[in-house]
């Protein structure tokens, strides 16, 4: 049985005194021998951590003692080895940079769809109103190379700040479709979903929990390939297992 627990979690919530908060979190992580990355910003927290399950869950319990973090939900996966080399906590301006400061997920989320409901729509090819369903991949081009939903639309972007212009250019072409945006764990879609609504794409949703939650609840249905993750595991298959061969294949193709 795999012994290292990996978690991914985010929460949009107003934070202040970030330096003090970083110091407290770093101390708690070191005590528990956790490794990974935490991003702290005025708009919230984004974290990827790994360690022994009792220590990692203990950290989450400690974190949720702060009322601001009480709603934090984590997606879990397992590995044989620690996938991170060190423990880092960074202070940033945004937990996922979009450069559209009118988009504030803390004040209200975009419409979302559960993985099970999405599978139902994809099985049928239409939503509950009979509208064709199109998947919108909000990730960067190199991530899409690892895998994506069948027939998903992506824009070959290099960074998330390019997404608003890319989706805006397709507004008319996608106007008669129901759109479901997705990313690795859901965080980018918290902003992309709101932006799509802001520009008038009324029949748009975000996939709750992203690809990783879909893998957890549904598996591989309508998905091709693996999912890139931002740690030393590199990619996970629909069973949430590491695919160690991905790295060597990708490097070989680049040479």
Supply angle C-alpha 10, 16, 20, rounded to 5: 95
Q: Would you call 9 helix, strand, or coil by DSSP?
A: strand
Residue from 29, 183, 189, 227 carrying the catalytic annotation:
183
* Rounded Cα distance, 242 and 240, in Å: 7
* Rounded Cα distance, 224 and 253, in Å: 19
Contact predicate 191/161, CB 8 Å: no
* Rounded Cα distance, 42 and 32, in Å: 26
183 catalytic residue (yes or no): yes
DSSP string spanning 207-252? ETTHHHHHHHHT-STTEEE-EE-SSTT-EE-TTS-B-THHHHHHHH
Active site residues per annotation:
183
């Amino acid at each position: 049985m795999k012994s290292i627990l990996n978690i991914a979690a985010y929460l949009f919530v107003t934070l202040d005194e970030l330096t003090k908060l970083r110091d407290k979190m770093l101390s708690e992580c070191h005590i528990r021998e956790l490794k990974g990355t935490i991003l702290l910003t005025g708009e919230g927290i984004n974290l990827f951590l790994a360690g022994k399950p009792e220590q990692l869950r203990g950290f989450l319990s400690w974190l949720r003692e702060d009322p601001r973090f009480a709603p934090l939900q984590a997606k879990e996966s397992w590995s044989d080895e620690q996938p991170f080399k060190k423990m880092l906590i960074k202070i940033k301006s945004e937990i996922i940079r979009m450069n559209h400061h009118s988009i504030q997920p803390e004040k209200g989320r975009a419409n979302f769809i559960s993985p099970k409901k999405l599978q139902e729509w994809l099985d049928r090819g239409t939503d509950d109103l009979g509208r064709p369903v199109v998947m919108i991949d909000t990730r960067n081009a190199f991530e899409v190379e690892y895998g994506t939903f069948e027939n998903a639309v992506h824009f070959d972007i290099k960074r998330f700040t390019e997404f608003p212009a890319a989706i805006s250019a397709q507004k008319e072409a996608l106007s008669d479709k129901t759109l479901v945006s997705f990313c690795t764990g859901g965080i980018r879609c918290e902003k992309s979903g709101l932006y799509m609504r802001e520009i008038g794409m009324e029949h748009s949703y975000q996939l709750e929990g992203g690809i990783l939650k879909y893998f957890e609840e549904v598996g591989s249905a309508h998905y091709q390939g693996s999912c890139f993750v931002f740690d030393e595991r590199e990619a996970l298959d629909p069973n949430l297992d590491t695919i160690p061969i991905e790295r060597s294949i990708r490097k070989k193709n680049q040479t």
